[in-house]
Amino acid sequence: MIGVFDSGSGGLTILNALKKQLPNQKFLYLGDHGHAPYGHRSNEQIVALTRLGVDHLMHEGCSLVILACNTAAAIALRTLQQEWLPTEHPEKRVLGVLVPMVEAITNVPWAQQSPASHPEDNKQNKQRVLLFATSKTIESGAYVEEIAKRAPHVELVQKACPGLVDAIEGGAGTAPLQGLINGYISELDMYGIETAVLGCTHFPLVEKLFKAALPDTVKLYSQADIVASSLKNYLERHPEFISADTPSTTLLTSGDPRIVDRVSKRLGVNEQSFIMYQ
């Protein structure tokens, strides 16, 4: 069984893409709505909450867990992989959404970190990529660090979107959400930007609003599809994590299932009902 962990409902975008590309798999989704959003929390809290969520999924039978939360992936993934997983669940794996996105932005495999592979690095070939993310993801520096290792010709323009996750999870209407997004973009210098990345799994829930606010010439990366393709390739290389169970999907939440259901269904990302877990 494959687990998908997120701080709230944003990871449903990843889950839906995974189900399309891996229709024969069994999935268990856990949204930590009771502690969302993670962007306001300390690094220590994010690591602790992510560890608790992943541990629950693994005790429920997941051999592989995807951190479908950019903040959790940026802050907690390395600690979980290096310090916690080897002793608590050595036979299991935790993957994040950051790796596939860095590979897509740079067009360089994760294992390749040599800037020498980019001799074209000069002013004429500079590429500006816009990243929308939570303040915590940007503060971590994870995207900047990993992109610089692989593609120094890429200039990452980062834009924090404070309040957007809260508004989405709180069920805000189209007008206030569009107002927030318009405000973020109005503060940017869009010169030379041809590509933008929604670096939070909540943001694809309002992708149409981002597209409406951005110039028509700017292409938006679909994080969900990129992550799903990456996991499909990973499973082809590691078939031991392929589920042999009957395909199914179960949704868990640490929040109020009635509220979570209402918001996720209004956003059009889910028709199933959540179950509260303790």
Residues with a known catalytic role: 69, 200
Handedness of CA 104, 109, 110, 116 (dihedral sign): negative
Beta bridge partners of 157: 130
HEC letters along 185-239: HHCCCCCCEEEEEECCCCHHHHHHHHHHHCCCCCEEECHHHHHHHHHHHHHHHCH
Peptide bond before 90: cis, by omega within 30 degrees of 0? no
Distance of alpha carbon 189 from alpha carbon 33, whole angstroms: 34
What are residue 127's DSSP bridge partners? Answer: 154
Kindly state the tokens that stand for 159: 């834009």
Listed in sequence order, the residues at least 6 apart from 240 whose beta carbon sits closer than 8 Å to its beta carbon are: 63
The dihedral over CA atoms of 214, 216, 221, 225, expressed in degrees to the nearest 10, equals 120
Burial class of 109 by CB neighbour count within 10 A (0 to 12, 13 to 18, 19+): exposed
Sequence letter at residue 4 = V
